[in-house]
Amino acid sequence: MENYNDIRPYRDDEVVSVIARLVADPEVIDSTAAFLFPKGNRWIPFLTRFIARRVIQKATAPLKSVKDLQVFLSGYFERMVRTTTDGLSCVGLEKLDKEKSYLFISNHRDIAMDSGFINYALWSNGFNTSQIAVGDNLFSQGFQADLMRLNKSFVVVRKAKGVKAQFAALTRTSAYIRYVLEKGESVWIAQREGRSKDGIDRTEPAILKMFMLAHRAETRLFREWLDQVNLVPVSVSYEIDPCASRKARELYMLDRYGQYEKAVDEDVQSIVEGITGYKGRVHVNFGAPVRGDFDDADSLARVLDREIVGGLATFPTFLEADALEKGEFGGQLVGRVKTSFESALKILPQDYQQHFLLQYANQLRNKQKNFETD
């Protein structure tokens, strides 16, 4: 069997040593101190770092396994749900069997929260959590890689140079996903590389072709592959996207100049905003495992798109953005959602505002098109 040590999540027997490495990492201590003591860290950093190290050591001392870590993190996740959302709803899990493994494929709105909410929904309903496919672009710093691999993330290599190296990397990712599924664990992967920043959710056929690479010896037919795996479309909907303003700026730059260069720490900032920012209501919809006589990746992608888009919630922010983008009166929003949406829109430069609105409006419009073609 191939050794996947460089890409797989950490095992139980590695948890203690990895946590010890994190506790000794100055960047981890600095980040924790800045989070716990945002003001004091500027004036007495030696003291805040000392306290931060002690806090981390005390909190992580009982953690001896991946399950210990996930139980520990679930408390923080529950607090995040209470403080940054107006509720998390979930439907569709009755279609799934707790004893089976699944290949979950979902829309991609937030770097960390999409898989986070999906796994939390699974965990809360007595299912095992899934391994999480994460692109190697997010492993730029050692401690980030350690944190993600502790929490059941595996590395998808995207930076390989040259056609042969890229194909080898894709084949290895495919083989690893097959290996995980066959040993009874589930996997989550986004339907596309990178987030859907414009609100239009489309499955990249290349990802479906990648799944097939590890099955070439047995079949090249998608219908036969689907008989071997449980491919489940999942939809994640956010009433408020904490990163919408940042995405609007990027979309404007791409539209205006044809290119956009990310800052070195931009993905990290997006992760933090996604976790700590207000989200309104969040909804997760699990579909049934896909079966069918598909000729190719394109036909399967169309069905996944219909399932994923059809499973999106229709939040008032989508209706509001649709009306405003058309130059009509909105008036759909109330309370904290209204304040959050309107303040985020108001502070954006005029040139960015259409891109902000389209992120929300396109989710509604795509769903309407979905119903029209059914």
Residue owning tokens 């004091």: 40
Whether residue 282 has pLDDT greater than 70: yes
Q: What is the average pLDDT score of the chain?
A: 93
Helical (H) or strand (E) element with 281: none
Q: What is the pLDDT at residue 141?
A: 63
Do residues 286 and 119 lie in contact, with contact meaning Cβ atoms separated by under 8 Å? no
Segment 228-244, tens digit of pLDDT: 999 999 999 999 999 99
CA distance 307 to 106: 10
CA distances from 350 to 22, 303, 345, 347 (A): 43, 37, 9, 9
Do residues 234 and 338 lie in contact, with contact meaning Cβ atoms separated by under 8 Å? no
Count CB neighbours of 7 within 10 A: 19
Nearest to 154 by CA among 163, 162, 145, 167: 145
Entry pTM: 0.93
Region 42-50: mean pLDDT is: 88
Q: What is the pLDDT at residue 140?
A: 67
CA distance 81 to 276: 10
Contacts 24+ apart (CB under 8 A), 350-355: 351/252, 351/256, 352/245, 352/248, 352/249, 352/251, 352/252, 353/248, 354/325, 355/198, 355/247, 355/248, 355/251, 355/252, 355/255
Whether residue 350 has pLDDT greater than 80: yes
Q: What is the pLDDT at residue 373?
A: 63
Q: What backbone torsions phi and psi does residue 11 show, to the nearest 5 degrees? A: -90, 170
Nearest to 274 by CA among 247, 294, 292, 255: 247
Q: What is the pLDDT at residue 374?
A: 59
